[in-house]
Each structure stands twice: as structure tokens, then as C-alpha cells.
Amino acid sequence: MATLEIDRVKKSYGQMDVLKEVSISVGDGDFLVLLGPSGCGKSTLLNMIAGLEDITSGQIRISGDVVNDLSPKDRDIAMVFQSYALYPTMTVRQNIEFGMKIRGVPPEARAKATKAAADMLQMGHLLDRKPSQLSGGQRQRVAMGRAIVREPKLFLFDEPLSNLDAKLRVDMRTEIKRLHQRLGTTIVYVTHDQIEAMTLATRIAVMKDGVVQHFGPPQEVYDRPANTYVARFVGSPAMNIIPASLQVGADGLAEAVVSLPSGEARIAGIPLSAAALKSHAGQKVLLGIRPEHFSLTSGPGLSVHIDVVEPTGPDTLAVFAMGGTEVIARLEPFAAAAGDRLTLAVKQEKVVVFDASSETRLD
Amino acid sequence: MATDLRSARRAQNWGRLFIYGSLAAMAAFYLMPLWVMIVTSLKSLDEIYSGSFIGLPKAVTFDAWAKAWGTACIGTKCEGLKPYFVNSLVMVIPAVILSSGIGAINGYVLTKWRFKGSNIVFGMLLFGCFLPFQAVILPMAQVLGRLGLSGTIPGLVLVHTVYGIAFTTLFFRNYFITIPDELTKAAQIDGAGFFRIFFSIMLPAALPIIVVSCIWQFTQIWNDFLFGVSFTAGDSTPVTVALNNIVNVTMGRKQYNVDMASAMIAAIPTLVVYVVAGRYFVRGLTAGAVKG
């Protein structure tokens, strides 16, 4: 049960800044996902929260207490690692009890806590095995059990599912979500998988090059990404980023003009504040449109020429040219075939506008 | 078809015969000296001088062994190898434990608690592996003199410990580097400190390399002659030096049977170590290659 505040935290190795003034704060019971490609500094940040790496400047506070100079064991945290990090010569039971033993928990209490964790994770039958005798999923379960018995203020997960195969990954994801619902403990979770981030998080921090690009609830990150980097990173297929020019429409709302092979087309009624519209009217902008916000229409719309279709089962992804780039629309199965000329409508209220040069979102 | 198969199988059999035949011949050639040593040590001196070296003894006698162990004369004393064998044990046991222990801690620090310049320190330690014995004898003698350990067994323990650290550090460092760093991090979060992690997690996981290090150090130190002959004298010499003295300093007829028995006695501990722990030695040397 804890809040976590990361306050202008910096990390430098000599001249190189790995993290540049990162500020994130989450409330009690939040599930924070640090999302980004490898080398973005997300694991470094997690290690700093854990106390495994020094903080160059700034503060990290857990439940309001500054933990900068506390050693990992005094921060009241538990961590689950990508490689599971189970002690190879100890049995599962010894692995789970190791931390309690060091903290001087009496044997009866240790056994009770171990049993409770084993029941919760359905691994009672594994307690007397060695880690080498377990499968990847079982090992990760044990690693989680070891974290649970600590009853920490904060759970830290460092890409816990990356070593598992696809099917198991989905199962364990659900397991982690269930765990969070049951325990209600604040969690910080590092991943490069945007699906994991979307499904698990109550707050996502998208990171790139040591800078937080967007920090917010998953749906906000998905619907209104702070910049084109976030727009492209979250969602599969990614958000389409289409060059267009911005105009004031007949109704006084924002209107975008995009070029199509068949000529110019207009997307009217784009939500944009009057101030942003005023400052950017007549200029080049970038439109962000999710693939699922295109749909077939019999009325007026964008007349496009389908280049490739990729059926995925539930949907068909149709690829066409628009605004000089390749654009993907998510349509019904059999809605399109390569070579078709189709008319598509756009859910204009979902369209996001980015500044053409800074690539940040306009509100 | 069938004849083809049969002739192929016959060719294969001949090939097998050739391989095993030559292996057996080479093994026999290699074992010949051991054979000569054993049979000679079991013969009486008269029989040796009257017969051949290779043949079986007419009458088996353990007199030579008893003499080598208890009554052979070395210098002016006639107490056999026994006191020197004890010297070697008193030297080898602490030296093996100390050098392996320090090597283990070194390897642990160099992999799991890296500091600025740790790679340079490791590189310099490695230098010790390539340093020839002769190069350190004079400076070492001076150091031992200053410490007041000249000519003593503790002095020899110190020499072997220092000289062994380069090798043991290399063994343990290369082993610990295959153990993921996340293990140390997990233990830190569990609240374990430097030594707790070392003793509870790293050492139990390092059993194969502990065996390798101990065998290596044991054979090196037990079989060492140069340091023994350079830094000890008289009553405190190790068994290898005493063996040399028995063999090279004799009055009258050369006592081949006693010489052979002495050589075998001096070699027995290393043989025992290999027979008992040799399996682990090979397993430990290849342990890095097959990670569980």
C-alpha cells in the first residue's frame, strides 16, 4: 500500500545522460507500466526505484518518504526479474523463505506465509523441487511467490514475461492482473510490449531516450497520444500518421485537406481548440488516425485504391495510399480485396492532430 | 545387397580392431613406467640386481615400502619419508583452502561487485598465471626473510597461496560470470549482504569449480619441488624434496626398490585425489559450456 513519486530524477554515466529529469507519480494501488524500446532507460529507472542503482539527482519517494539513500532491503519492495533469478541450489520453499529468514521471521510464520503464497499461485506441489526441475512458467510463478511473501509496499516487475512463449505469456499476464486485483498493491512494471502495457496498466509512461513521452491512463495514451512517437509505439497496427493541411471549415471547426491519388479530399469536424486552430490554420499538420476509425461507406468519403489486404481473422487490414504515405484501415472480413476502389469514412471525432515540425499533439 | 552389407560390417570390425589395438598398445606403453615401479618396489634388492626390471617378483616383499616410509636415511636422519609426508600435508591443506577461498572471493567481487578498474585488476592478476617460477624466487626469498618465515612451512604456505591466487581467481571469475547478475540483485532485495550472498548463494552454486580449484591447487602444491627446495631446509622440507634426497644421496648399492616405493608414496595423494574427484574435475572444467 503505497504511493510512488519520481521527482525530476536524473541518471548519468559520466557524460552520458541515461535519464533526463523524469517525473512520474502514481497513487496507492496503481499499476504503473514503464513502456519503451530497449535502451530507453526504463529498466534503469526500475533499478533506481529498487535501490540497485544510484540516483544522480532528483528524488524518489515511496509513501512520501525519500528513499534515495536507503538500501534495497530497507525500501520495503519486492522484485520479479526477467530471468526469474531463483537461487539455483535452493528448493522452491527455500527460495521463497530466504528473504524471511534473513529478516528473522520465525519458522512457523515463514511456513504459513509460504503456504498462503503457494495456494494463491497454485504451486503447492512444487515446493520441494529445485528451480532446474521447473518449466519457465512455473519458475516465474515461484519468483512471484517469493515477492508476495514479502508483503511489500511496492512490487517491481522487470519484463517478467519476456522469456515465456506466446501462449504462456498471455496466461501469466492474466495471472499478474488477478494478483494485482486481489492484493491491491502498487506495482511498477517494465515492458517493451505495448499489449502488456495496455492490458495491465492503470497508468502508462511511454519512454524514449531517457525522457517520458506520455504519462497517462492507457486509454488516453491510445486515443490521444502526446506525440507521433507514442502514436506509432502503442497499438498494432500503429496509428496512421498522415500529412495534411489544416483549414477552418464552413462550420467553423477544423478541417483537414489530404491528398489522394484520385485528388484532394476533406475530413471535416476534427476536434481542435479554437486557439490551436487559429495558430495552425493554413499550415501543414500531421493527422493521427487509428486503423479501426476507417469504415466503408456508401455516402461521401475518401475514395481510395486498395493496394494490399491482410486478413487477420476477425478483421481485414487494407493498405492504401493517402497523403503520400501508406495507410492501414481495419475493415470487416472480406470487405476489401487488392485492386478495389472503395469509399471510406473517417470517425472525425477520433482524429488527432500533430504539429508538423515538433510532432506533438495539438489540442 | 546382403554381401555388400556384410563386407561393410567386416571392414568396420577391422577398423574397430585397429583403433582399440593401437589404443591398448599406447596405454601399455604409457603405463610401463608405473608397472616397473610397482614390481621393483615389491622385490628384494638381491632379486633386482640378479634379474630383470620388468618381470614379476619371485617373492613379494613389502620391506622396501616399510623402509621408505619409516627407516630410510635422509641426510643423517633415518626416519624415512613419514615426517616429510606430514610436512607436505601440513603445507598443502591450508594452502589449498586459503588460495581457493581467496580466489572464490576475488572471482565473486570481479563479477558481481564490479568497481572502476576491476577489469585491469583482473588482467594484472592473470599476469600471475604466466609468471615463471624462477622469476619470483629471489624476491620471494627476501619477503620471507623480512617476515621471519624463511625455511618454515608457514612460509611455504604463504608462497603457494600467493602464487595460486592467480589461477583460482581465474577459475572462479570465469565460473561466476555465467551466473546471472539478477541473482545478486534478487538477494540484495531479499536483504542479503555481501557475505550472505557469497556463502548462501554463490558458493553452493559453485561446487563444480570449487572441486576443480582444489584439485588443481592440490596437485600443483603437492608436486611442487622448486619452491620447496628453495625456501625450506632440513626438517621442514616437503615430501618431494625428501624424495629427491633419498634417491640422490645413497651410500653403497643403489636401493632401487626403496626409491620406487618412495616415489609411489609421494605420488599417492594426488592419485587418490584424481580417482576420488576426477569426475567432478572434468565436469567442472566444462560446466560453463552447458548452462542449466
3-state DSSP assignment of residue A357:
coil
Instruction: Please report whether residue B72 resides in a domain.
Output: no
- The predicted pLDDT at position A1 comes to 64
* Grid cell locating A335: 470487405
Instruction: Give the count of domains, chain B.
Output: 2
Residue B291 vs residue A219, higher pLDDT: A219
Among the candidates B11, B30, B61, a domain finishes at: B61
Residue type, A225: P
Residues in chain A within 8 Å Cβ distance of B192: 73, 98, 102
- Asked if residues A121 and A30 have their Cβ atoms less than 8 Å apart, the reply is no
Q: In what order do the strands lie in the sheet with A57-62?
A: A16-26, A4-13, A57-62, A65-66
Query: B189, A79: Cβ pair inside 8 Å?
Result: yes
- The predicted pLDDT at position A20 comes to 92
- The predicted pLDDT at position B289 comes to 41
- Asked if residues A304 and A259 have their Cβ atoms less than 8 Å apart, the reply is no
Instruction: Please report whether residue B108 resides in a domain.
Output: yes
DSSP for A64-124, written as a single string:
TEE-TTS-GGGS-EEEE-TT----TTS-HHHHHHHHHHHTT--HHHHHHHHHHHHHHTT-G
| A83 and chain B in contact, CB less than 8 A | yes
- The predicted pLDDT at position B291 comes to 41
| A103 and chain B in contact, CB less than 8 A | yes
Of A5-9, A44-48, B44-48, B173-177, the poorest mean pLDDT is in B44-48
| A314 and chain B in contact, CB less than 8 A | no
Domain housing B41: 2-61
| Among candidate residues A212, A169, A210, A209, the one with its CA nearest the CA of residue A33 | A212
C-beta pairs of B142-145 under 8 Å, 24+ apart in sequence? B144/B231
Q: Are residues B203 and B125 in the same domain?
A: yes
Average pLDDT across chain A, whole number: 92
| A13 and chain B in contact, CB less than 8 A | no
Chain A: residue nearest B180 by CA?
A: A85
Query: A132, B185: Cβ pair inside 8 Å?
Result: no
| B203 and chain A in contact, CB less than 8 A | no
Q: How far is B217 from chain A (nearest CA, A)?
A: 25
Instruction: Please report whether residue B89 resides in a domain.
Output: yes
Q: How far is B290 from chain A (nearest CA, A)?
A: 13
CATH number of the domain bearing residue B268: 1.10.3720.10
Q: Are residues B44 and B86 in the same domain?
A: no
Of A164-168, A359-363, B170-174, the poorest mean pLDDT is in A164-168
3-state DSSP assignment of residue B214:
helix
Q: Are residues B115 and B50 in the same domain?
A: no
| B200 and chain A in contact, CB less than 8 A | yes
Residues in chain A within 8 Å Cβ distance of B190: 73, 98-99, 102, 146
Q: Are residues B118 and B242 in the same domain?
A: yes
Q: Are residues B38 and B106 in the same domain?
A: no
- The predicted pLDDT at position B56 comes to 85
Instruction: Please report whether residue B178 resides in a domain.
Output: yes
Query: B191, A132: Cβ pair inside 8 Å?
Result: no
3-state DSSP assignment of residue B129:
helix
The mean per-residue pLDDT over the stretch A129-145 comes to: 91
Burial category of A219 from C-beta neighbours within 10 Å (exposed 0-12, middle 13-18, buried 19 and up): exposed
Q: How far is A152 from chain B (nearest CA, A)?
A: 11
Q: Are residues B57 and B124 in the same domain?
A: no
Among the candidates B61, B90, B110, a domain finishes at: B61
| B114 and chain A in contact, CB less than 8 A | no
Of A114-123, A192-201, A237-246, B73-82, the poorest mean pLDDT is in B73-82
| A78 and chain B in contact, CB less than 8 A | yes
Size of interface A-B (CB pairs under 8 A): 63
pLDDT more than 90, % of chain A: 78
Neighbours of A313 (CB within 10 A): 6
- The predicted pLDDT at position B292 comes to 38
| A133 and chain B in contact, CB less than 8 A | no
Q: Are residues B34 and B97 in the same domain?
A: no
The mean per-residue pLDDT over the stretch A179-198 comes to: 94
Instruction: Please report whether residue B77 resides in a domain.
Output: no
- The predicted pLDDT at position B287 comes to 55
Instruction: Please report whether residue B76 resides in a domain.
Output: no
Q: Are residues B100 and B230 in the same domain?
A: yes
Instruction: Find the CB nearest B192 among A78, A79, A102.
Output: A102
Q: Are residues B15 and B104 in the same domain?
A: no
Instruction: Please report whether residue B49 resides in a domain.
Output: yes
Instruction: Please report whether residue B130 resides in a domain.
Output: yes
Helix (H), strand (E) at residue A182:
helix A166-183
Q: How far is B193 from chain A (nearest CA, A)?
A: 9
Residue pLDDT, tens place only, A311-330 = 999 999 999 999 999 999 99
Q: Are residues B257 and B228 in the same domain?
A: yes
Query: B188, A52: Cβ pair inside 8 Å?
Result: yes
Q: Are residues B95 and B51 in the same domain?
A: no
Q: Are residues B20 and B162 in the same domain?
A: no
| A154 and chain B in contact, CB less than 8 A | no
Chain B: residue nearest A147 by CA?
A: B190
ipTM over 0.85: no
* Alpha helices (runs of H) in B42-81, residue ranges in sequence order: 45-50, 63-66
The mean per-residue pLDDT over the stretch A191-218 comes to: 95
**pTM (predicted TM-score):** 0.81
- The predicted pLDDT at position B51 comes to 77
- The predicted pLDDT at position A63 comes to 93
| pLDDT tens for the 292 residues of chain B, in order | 566 777 778 888 888 999 999 999 999 999 999 899 999 999 888 888 887 777 888 888 888 899 999 888 887 788 889 999 999 999 999 999 999 999 999 999 999 998 889 999 999 988 888 888 888 899 999 999 999 998 899 999 999 999 999 999 999 999 999 998 999 999 999 999 999 999 999 999 898 899 889 999 999 999 999 999 999 888 889 999 999 988 887 667 788 889 999 999 999 999 898 888 877 777 766 654 434 3
